[in-house]
Every structure is written in C-alpha cells, then in structure tokens.
C-alpha cells in the first residue's frame, strides 16, 4: 500500500464515512478511499469480535447485528466500486486495488468464523419456532454460505482458501483493467471521407470532434461500444469493418494491434487454476459443481442438457439463416461481414434499419415510455431530481414514488459512452433496503448504459437494440428497488439464485416490443411524431430475425464457460482454445478466424459474477418468456397479473426459493417451449 494513499485525507471529513442518505459524489476523491475502508474494516472487526464473544446467541444480537454491519460496509464500498467503473483514473484504480485484498480478507474471515457459524446454528435450533419464513430463509442461506466459504476446513486449508479468495479478487480486477486499457489505447484515424460511407452521422461527428481535439485532420475513432457496433453494422468499407473487428475481438490478448501489451492469457490461466483449487478444498469435483450449490440448476449435466436442448432446436434454423445470408451477399462471408449483411438483409426484408429507428427514439421519449410501463404495471411514479450530487455531467437521479407521493426507492442513470468508462450495460446496488427496527433505508440503484451521447442541440438517439438494453437493466433495477424484504442479505437481487436473477430484466425486455409502448416512447427528433404503425409492425417482425444464430452464439458462450469450469484439470491447464474449438464444432455455424481472442475480454466470467453461470441468461430467458406468457394470456398491463408478479417474484428477493416463487406466479414449472415460441424457433424447426 503506497504511503500517499494511507497518509492523506482527514478521516473526520471523509465523505465516504459520512452518514448521509446518498453518496457524496461531489466530494469523494481517490485519496479518501483507503483511509475510509481501513477505518471501517477495523471498526467492523471489533464489532464482529464482540458478537462472537456473546455468551448466548439470539436472532437480534447475532443475525440482525451482522446484517447492520454488512449493510454499512456495502454502502461505503459501493460508490468506490461504481466510480472505478464509470470514471476510471490511475489514482482511483490504485486506491480501489489497494482495498481489494483488505475486503477479500475481511469477508473470508467473516465467512470462515466457526463462532459465528455455531451462533447461527444455535439461533436456528433454539428460535426456529419463533422465526418467520423470511428469517428462517435468512439463516438457511447464511449457514449454506458459511459451508461454501470453508468454515469446516482445518486451519491450514482454511488459510489457503482465504489466500485464494484474495488473489482471485486481485486477478478479476486485473482482467477488467486490461480490457479497459486495451479498449482505450486503440484508435483509428481516417482522412478520406470515402472510407466512411454508411456510418451514422452522430458517430462521425463524435470522431471529428475527437480528431480536432488531437489537432488532426479528418476523423479519429475510438473503440467504445457504440462506435464499434456502428462500424461493423453499417460501414460499407470491408477493410474498415475488419480493422474494428480485429481490434475488438483481440482486446487484452496476444494477438491484434495491441498484441501482448495487456494480455489476459496468464490471468485466465491463474483464475481457472485458483477456482478449481478452491472447489477441491471444499471437496467439490470442479468449480462448476461448487458454483451450482446455490442455483436453480443443481448439476453440471442438468445445465449441459438444457443448453444442448437449445442447440438441437436452434442449429438447423441457424444453418438455414447462414445459408440465406450468404445467398443474399452473393459470396462467402468473413466474420466482419456478418453484422453488415445481416443489417442489409433485415432492411431489405422488413424495410427498416437501426439507424432509421434512431430518429424516432430520442432518449427523453424512451425514458418517458419506459417509466410509464413501470408506473402502469406496479403503481409507482418516477420523477427526476436535480438537487442530488452526481459523478459526471451525464449522470441523473430519479425517485420512485408510491401513488400517495412518498419515495419508495431511487436510482442514478448514466446513459452515455465516454473514455475511461467500462463498456457494456449494468445495474448495480448503490444502497440496499434495510428495515431492522430503526429507520427504514430505501433502496438506491445505479443504471449504467453506453449509448451514443448527445451532439450539440440534438438529443441522444438510440437504436432499438439500445432501447432493449435499457429496458433490461431497468428490470434489474425494479428487482432491486421494489423489494419488500427488510433484511439486506435477502433484499432485491441479494440471495436470489444466480440463474434466476435475470428473470425480471429479461421479462422487461418484452415491453420494448409492444405496439402501445413503441408509440408512447417514440418521437421523431425533427417533428415529434411517434413511430408509424407500419414501421412498428416491421420492427416487431424483426424480433425473430436470425433468432437461431443469436441463440447459438449465446449457447456457445455458455457451453464454453461451463466446460472451462467443469473440466479443468491442473496438469492440463485451462485449454481455453482447445475447448472453444470443441464447443464451436458442436454448436456454431458461423466461422471465426483463428486469431479471434474473445475469451480474453469475456469479463462476465473472468471479472464478473457469471463464472460457471453464463448459462443463466438462457435459463432465465426461459423463465421470462414463460412469465410474460401469463401477461399475453390476460393482457400486457393486466393489473391482477402484474400484482401477482410483484408479490410472487419482484418483491421477494432471495427470501423464497426461485422455483417455488415462479410456480407461485405461473401455477406450474417453467417450460423451455415458451422461449422457442417467442423467437419463432419452434415453428421454423418444425
């Protein structure tokens, strides 16, 4: 830990330690981070020691006390982790990385405390009859988590497990940093306007401003996600598409324009080795088996059978879609051609394009439509507040209010791509709900996207793909914000089986395709008119366009993830590209070049929470399609159905078994056919 990180910042005025309703984003600085976390962890360790020393254990003195501690630490660390993702800088990165081993050590010590484990077991045995179902579930989760953290290991193995967790935290951060740095370091300078035919005007304006700032003629492109997608989808120049495809698909690897500079190859090897070792310490055959211990899916064969069921249905459809696309292009396609010709084919078939749709989808109108969906379904009101400190001029703050007026939750929205901001889209926990006898703490969420920023007086305009992403993340946000669970460990997304956590987000995507929602959320940037009914009809028809290929792509990622974690053997190493070849032989119909290195930027499984869990997207997509089927049966805004969805799933957090919650809502177990019907795969396969 560097001296400048520990010595600076007066703790008495440290904004991270203030007991404020919301983070002081206008006052948090990198030099505040390490002192705040160090002080807080010392205080928490003292509190934990006092709890461990209690002569008798009861629910209030042990369980509630630890819930309070966890909530406090989460509130202090959350803005740090968030800022590191959205305004990354070298000082902030250094402070963030300095804290990771401290936090990992603390969490592991907590989870491996035999005294706490015995205290929870004592509460469960002595007070079980006096506990309500949520309290019993809370203790059940805690006892399971103690066991999964190695509480029963001997001291030597326990120490090794702890060291592994600390090192995995460091490696995950390093993986993500390498991807971010490889993305930021790349640029492409163009001086000939003829090379840029087909590209969206907003992207070109942004590139022109970037070139001007660097005192260059022409256009200077970055590798941010909106730019990459726009180029490979719309640029008429195959050479330009290839340059962007190669830069994107070789990020943080041994190949491509930054070959070896930020290579994640060894990071991947170490992550997989350490995960396997941790699982073996707990007597699991593999990390995949360990990860499935708290999921809806219980075994690796169950997951593999599920994914291969999708392959059997989608592969003939995907192969036919590829044949059709190459017939349309009149030549064999290279990987950097697929998005371009797919967009052209879609335009020819449906006479609609993502760039055409941008003109009808300014962000203010899309937000109004999105909020109206939530308001109609769940009887809330959403209002912006401009008196709350934020971390960047792009960020905004909204309150979710009950019909009577009081706030029930709130969220920040950071919608636009920019340098030093992580790519992709996500929802994260700013503050979790807590009601443990004192004042109720309301949930607060972060919603982050990476769409194209406004240009001059022109508002930000979205593709429909951007809109679906926004609806998806807002679904996660509703899951977090509309929880009624009072215990932080089970509130919102906490405690939810990982393969069910995408259910609310993918459920909300359906509303981005509904005609009345499309009408409400669209307004042409020039005249304000909504998306015409004929364009709506064509857009909705595109939902099943190349659904076979899209399904196979996601299943490929999921199978690779599961096999990497299920089949790892120390003597053979990760075998990433050997397994990838086997998975692609089984699943894929689209070729990729030998130099493609997409696993090197696969942050979901190497830096996020989806290790041995990427299948969750498809698993939860089945749940979401089946759940939305209930609305199709009774009406997309049917109040009784929406209330049942809120009561059974959205508000319950991790306080109830995910399958039981689904059955409570739907009246039966989920069926994969719902998803195959939704995307037209069932009919086309038949």
HEC states along 214-227? Answer: CCCCCEEECCCHHH
**Burial class, 359, CB count within 10 angstroms (exposed 0-12 / middle 13-18 / buried 19+):** middle
In angstroms, rounded to a whole number, what is the distance separating the alpha carbons of residues 605 and 609? 6
Q: How crowded is the C-beta side of 458, counted as CA atoms within 13 Å?
A: 19
DSSP characters for 192-240?
Answer: -GGGGTT--HHHHHHHHHHHHHTT-SSEEE---HHHHHHHHHH-S-HHH
Tell me the C-alpha distance between 505 and 507, whole Å: 5
Task: Report CA dihedral (348, 349, 351, 355) to the nearest 10 degrees.
Answer: -70
Whole-angstrom distance, CA of residue 474 vs CA of residue 62: 35
Structure-token pair, residue 622 = 């089945």
Residue with tokens 């205080």: 43
Ramachandran region of residue 351, left (φ > 0), alpha (ψ -120 to 50) or beta? left
> Which SS3 state, helix, strand or coil, does residue 186 take?
coil
The residues near 668 (Cβ < 8 Å, ≥ 6 apart) are none
State the SS3 of 106-143: HHHHHHCCHHHHHHHHHHHHHHHHHCCHHHHHHHHHHH
Tally of CA atoms within 13 A in the half-sphere of 347 that contains its CB: 13
Question: Which burial class, exposed, middle or buried, applies to 257 when counting CB atoms under 10 A from its CB (0-12, 13-18, 19+)?
Answer: middle
User: For 53-113, where are the alpha helices, taking DSSP H only?
Assistant: 65-86, 90-111
CB 71 within 8 A of CB 441: yes
Describe the strand order of the beta sheet including 444-451 as a list of residue ranges: 381-385, 396-401, 407-416, 444-451, 426-431
Residues annotated as catalytic are: 473
| CA distances, 154 to each of 111, 112, 113, 150, 151 (Å) | 14, 11, 12, 9, 8
Size (the chain), residues: 686
Burial class (CB in 10 A: 0-12, 13-18, 19+), 662: buried
Other residues' Cβ atoms within 10 Å of the Cβ of residue 99: 23
Cβ-based neighbour number of residue 301 at 10 Å: 10
Give me the sign of the Cα torsion angle 6, 12, 16, 17. Answer: positive
Cα distances from 533 to residues 143, 508, 518, in angstroms, run: 55, 22, 9
> If we measure between CA atoms, which residue out of 500, 539, 543 comes closest to residue 678?
543
Buried b (16+ CB within 10 A) or exposed e, 25-51: beebebbbbbbbbbebbeebeeebeeb
> Could you tell me which residues come within 8 angstroms of residue 127 by beta carbon, excluding any fewer than 6 positions away?
58, 59
């Amino acid at each position: 830990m560097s001296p400048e990180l520990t010595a600076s910042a007066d703790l008495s005025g440290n904004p991270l330690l203030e007991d404020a309703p919301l983070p002081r984003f206008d006052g948090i600085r990198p030099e505040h981070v390490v002192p705040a976390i160090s002080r807080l962890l010392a205080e928490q360790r003292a509190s934990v020691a006092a709890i461990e020393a209690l002569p008798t254990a009861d629910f209030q003195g042990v369980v509630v006390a630890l819930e309070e501690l966890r909530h406090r630490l989460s509130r202090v660390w959350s803005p740090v982790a968030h800022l590191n993702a959205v305004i990354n800088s070298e000082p902030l990165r250094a402070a963030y990385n300095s804290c990771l081993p401290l936090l990992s050590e603390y969490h592991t010590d907590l989870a491996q405390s035999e005294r706490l484990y015995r205290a929870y077991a004592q509460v469960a045995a002595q007070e079980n009859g006096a506990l309500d179902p949520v309290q019993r579930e809370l203790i059940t989760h805690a006892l399971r988590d103690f066991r999964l953290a190695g509480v029963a290991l001997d001291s030597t193995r326990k120490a090794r497990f702890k060291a592994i967790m600390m090192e995995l935290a460091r490696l995950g951060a390093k993986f993500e940093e390498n991807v971010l740095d490889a993305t930021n370091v790349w640029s492409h300078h163009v001086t000939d306007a003829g090379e840029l035919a087909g590209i969206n005007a907003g992207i070109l304006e942004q590139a022109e401003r970037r070139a001007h700032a660097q005192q260059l003629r022409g256009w200077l492109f970055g590798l941010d996600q909106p730019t990459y997608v726009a180029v490979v989808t719309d640029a008429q120049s195959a050479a330009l598409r290839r340059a962007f495809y190669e830069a994107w698909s070789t990020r943080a690897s041994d190949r491509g324009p930054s070959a070896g500079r930020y290579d994640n190859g060894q990071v991947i090897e170490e992550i997989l080795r350490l995960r396997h070792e941790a699982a073996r310490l707990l007597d699991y055959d593999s990390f995949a088996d360990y990860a499935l211990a708290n999921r809806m899916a219980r075994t690796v064969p169950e997951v593999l059978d599920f994914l291969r069921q999708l392959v059997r249905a989608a592969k003939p459809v995907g192969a036919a879609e590829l044949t059709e696309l190459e017939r349309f292009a009149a030549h064999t396609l290279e990987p950097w051609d697929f998005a371009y010709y797919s967009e052209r084919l879609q335009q020819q078939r449906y006479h609609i394009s993502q760039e055409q749709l941008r003109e009808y989808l300014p962000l203010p109108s899309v937000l109004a439509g999105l909020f109206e969906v939530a308001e109609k379904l769940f009887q809330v009101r959403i209002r912006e507040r401009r008196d709350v400190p934020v971390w960047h001029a792009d960020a905004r703050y909204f309150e979710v209010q009950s019909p009577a007026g009081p706030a029930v939750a709130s969220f920040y929205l950071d919608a636009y791509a920019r340098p030093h901001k992580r790519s992709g889209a996500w929802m994260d926990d700013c503050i979790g709900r807590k009601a443990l006898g004192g004042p109720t703490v309301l949930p607060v969420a972060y919603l982050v996207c990476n769409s194209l920023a406004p240009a001059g007086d022109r508002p930000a305009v979205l593709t429909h793909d951007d809109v679906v992403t926004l609806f998806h993340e807002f679904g996660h946000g509703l899951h977090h914000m509309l929880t009624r669970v009072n215990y932080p460990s089970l509130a919102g997304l906490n405690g939810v089986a990982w393969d069910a956590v995408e259910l609310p987000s993918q459920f909300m995507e359906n509303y981005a395709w509904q005609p009345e929602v499309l009408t409400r959320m669209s307004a042409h940037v020039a005249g304000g008119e909504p998306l015409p009914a004929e364009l709506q009809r064509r857009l909705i028809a595109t939902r099943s366009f190349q659904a076979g290929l899209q399904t196979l792509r996601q299943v490929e990622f999921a199978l690779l993830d599961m096999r990497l974690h299920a089949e790892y053997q120390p003597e053979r190493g990760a075998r990433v590209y050997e397994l990838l070849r086997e998975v692609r032989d089984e699943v894929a119909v689209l070729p990729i070049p030998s130099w493609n290195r997409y696993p090197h930027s696969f942050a979901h499984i190497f830096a996020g929470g989806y290790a041995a869990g990427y299948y969750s997207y498809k698993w939860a997509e089945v749940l979401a399609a089946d759940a939305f089927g209930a609305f199709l049966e009774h009406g997309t805004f049917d109040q009784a159905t929406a209330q049942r969805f809120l009561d059974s799933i959205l508000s319950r957090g991790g306080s109830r078994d995910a399958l039981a919650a689904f059955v409570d809502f739907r009246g039966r177990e989920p069926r994969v056919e719902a998803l195959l019907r939704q995307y037209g795969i069932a009919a086309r396969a038949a």
